[in-house]
Chains A and B, each alone.
Chain A
Amino acid sequence: MTCDEIDDLLAAYALDAVDDDERAAIEDHLATCEHPERHEVDSLRAAAIGLATLAEEREPSVALEARLLASVERGSETRPRPGVGYIAGRPRRDLRWAGALVAGVVLMVAGFVAGALLFSGDDGSGEALVQVVQKDAMRMRAEAVAGESPVTVTLAGLGRLPEDVGYQVWAVRDDGWVTVGICNTDEDGWWEGDFDFALRPDDALAITIEPREGSPTPTGEVVLRSTGWERTAQ
C-alpha cells in the first residue's frame, strides 16, 4: 500500500476495523516508513480507548480468574514433574462422566487449533524448544532440547478418557506423523510427564484420541495441533 492508502486506513485500524491482511500491511508500513502522518495513529488509538469507557462495566464469572491463573501457573510457571508415559484409568464409576467429556472435547475440536508460541535458544542442535498450544480450556505445553530425548509434556483441560483409550501425541513431519507417546489425564484434566522421543526443530505437535496401546498412524479426531516450533533470540 502507498502512504496515502495507509493514511486512509488509520482510523479504521485504530478502531480494529481492518482485516488481518490490512492490519499486517499497516503495521509493517508504520514500522518502516517515516511518512508524515505515521504518528497520527497513536492519538487515534487513544481516542478508541476513550470509546471503551462507554461500555458498561460487568462482572465476569468467578471461574474466569481461576481459569486464567490456572492456565498461567500450569502452563508456564510450574516446572513439570517427570512422570510415566501412561497413567492408568480410574474406576468404572467415572466412565460415563469421562465419556461425556470426550464428546465435549471432540465437539470443540472441529475448527481447530492453535499455534506455537514460546521458544528460545540459539540455533543449531541443543536448541531449547518450548511450544504452547491452546484451544478453549485445552492446553498443551511441550519442552525439549532439539534432537535429544526426552520431551516434557504438560496437558491441562483435556478431559480424562475411558481406560481403553488415551491421548496420543504426534510429531507432525512432512513425511508423516510419528508417535511421541500416549497418556491419559487425571480427573482434573491434567497430565505431565516425559516421553522418550527426540524432537526436531521443525516438528509440529498434534494430539489425537487413540486406543490405549496407541495407533501407528492417527485414526481419531485431532484434539490439538500446533503450527510448528518458532524460535526467537532470547
Chain B
Amino acid sequence: MGSSRAAPAAGAPATDDPIDAPTDDRVDERALARRLQARDASALAELYRAHRQRAFGLAYRVLGDAPAAEDAVQSAFLALWQQADRIAPEGSLGALVMTIAHRRAVDLARRRAAERVHTHRTSAAFDGPTADVAEAIPDEEAQAAFARVLDDPEGTRRRVAAALDRLPVEQRMVVELAYFEGLTHRAIAERLGLPGGTVKSRLRLGLGHLRDALDTGAPETGAPDTGVTRDGRGEEERA
C-alpha cells in the first residue's frame, strides 16, 4: 500500500521464503485484525492476552505505578478497538499495541505531572480514550515500516541494548529521558540545562544510531543524510 518496504528487518528469521510471503504468525495476525474490524470482542481478548505483559511492562516503566499503567494499557487496547478500521493489513498488531500504549503512558505521565504542579490531588486523572484517539494510530505506511521490529523481540532487545551501550552517554541520556521518562525535548533541555537545539540534535543522532543498528528500513528514497552515520559528536555541539 504505497509502502516501499523491501528489505527484511534485521532479526527476521532467515528462511527460504520470498521476503513478502507472510509467516504463519502474520497470517494469524491478519485474521485477528479482520475479526477486530468485524467488532468481534473475543478477538480483542486474544489480542490483549498476547500483548498485555509487554504493553503493561512498558507503561509501568514510564509511569512507575501499576494503576496508572493499567489505565494506559486499557486505553491503548480500547483505542485499537475503536479505531480497528485503521489497522493496516501489512502492519503488526504487536508493534501497534506498543506504539499506542507508549503514547498513552506518556500522555498520562505528563498529565499527572501537570496536576502535581497545580493541585494536591495524587490520583491520576485519566480522561479515557477520548478526542485524540484517532491520531494515536499511525498511518498505514508507518505501520508497515515497523511491522517486523517485534518479529524477534529477543533479537531486537539484544541489538537495541548493545546499540544503546555504544551511544555517547549524552545521546543515550536524552533518548532514555524521552522514551522512558516521557519528557518532551523541552523538558529535557530544562532538566539538563542544555540549549533546546542541542537536545533535539542529540535525540536525532541517538535514535538514528539505534535505527541503524536495527536496520528498520532506512527508506530507499535517496537516503537523506541525517548525520547519524557520521560521528555525531562534533556536529551536535554547534547546535
Contacts and interface: CB of A to CB of B under 8 A. Distances in A.
A10 interface: yes
Contacts of B106: 16
Contact of B160 (A54, A59, A77): A54
A18 interface: yes
Contacts of B129: 117, 134
B86 interface: no
Contacts of A133: 128, 130
Given A50-B216, A77-B39, A60 B52 contact: yes
B131 A227 contact: yes
B107 to A, nearest CB: 8
A115 interface: yes
Contacts of A17: 178-179, 182-185, 188, 203
Nearest to A65: B48
A12 interface: yes
Contact of A52 (B44, B98, B130, B207): B98
B138 A51 contact: no
B221 A39 contact: yes
Chain A contact patch, size range: 35 or more
A19 B186 CA distance: 9
A41 B142 contact: yes
B175 to A, nearest CB: 7
A58 interface: yes
Classify the interface of chain A: helix, strand, loop or mixed: helix
Nearest to B39: A77
Interface string B143-182: 0111001100100110111001000000000010011101
A65 B78 contact: no
Interface residues of B, number: 90
B41 A51 contact: no
A57 B210 contact: no
Interface stretch (A86-94, A106-114, A162-170, A172-180): A106-114
A45 B143 CA distance: 9
Most A-side CB within 10 Å, residue of B45, B53, B216: B216
A51 B208 CA distance: 12
Contact of A72 (B41, B145, B217): B41
Given A8-B200, A12-B178, A135-B126, A53 B150 contact: yes
A135 B103 CA distance: 18
B74 to A, nearest CB: 5
Interface in A42-66: 42-61, 64-65
B121 interface: yes
A9 interface: yes
Contacts of B221: 36, 39
B44 A51 contact: no
A46 B211 contact: yes
Interface in A81-123: 107-108, 110-118
Contacts of B175: 15, 51
Interface string B62-88: 000010011101100110011000000
Interface string B110-141: 00000100010101011111111101001001
Contact of A46 (B56, B119, B217): B217
Nearest to A17: B178
A27 B159 CA distance: 29
B204 interface: yes
Most B-side CB within 10 Å, residue of A12, A37, A41: A12
Given A17-B188, A51-B160, A71 B60 contact: no
Interface of A: 8-12, 14-20, 23-24, 27, 36-37, 39-61, 64-65, 67-69, 71-73, 76-77, 107-108, 110-118, 133-136, 139, 227
- In the A-B complex, the 4 residue pairs with the smallest Cβ-Cβ separation, listed nearest first, are A134-B128, A42-B145, A46-B216, A111-B125
28 contacts: A8-B197, A11-B208, A16-B102, A19-B186, A24-B135, A39-B141, A42-B144, A43-B219, A45-B142, A46-B149, A46-B211, A47-B160, A47-B211, A49-B146, A49-B149, A50-B159, A51-B179, A54-B164, A55-B54, A64-B73, A65-B45, A67-B74, A76-B82, A77-B41, A108-B123, A110-B125, A117-B82, A136-B128
Given A11-B207, A50-B216, A136-B71, 10 more contacts: A15-B179, A18-B185, A46-B146, A46-B149, A46-B211, A52-B58, A68-B44, A111-B127, A115-B131, A139-B128
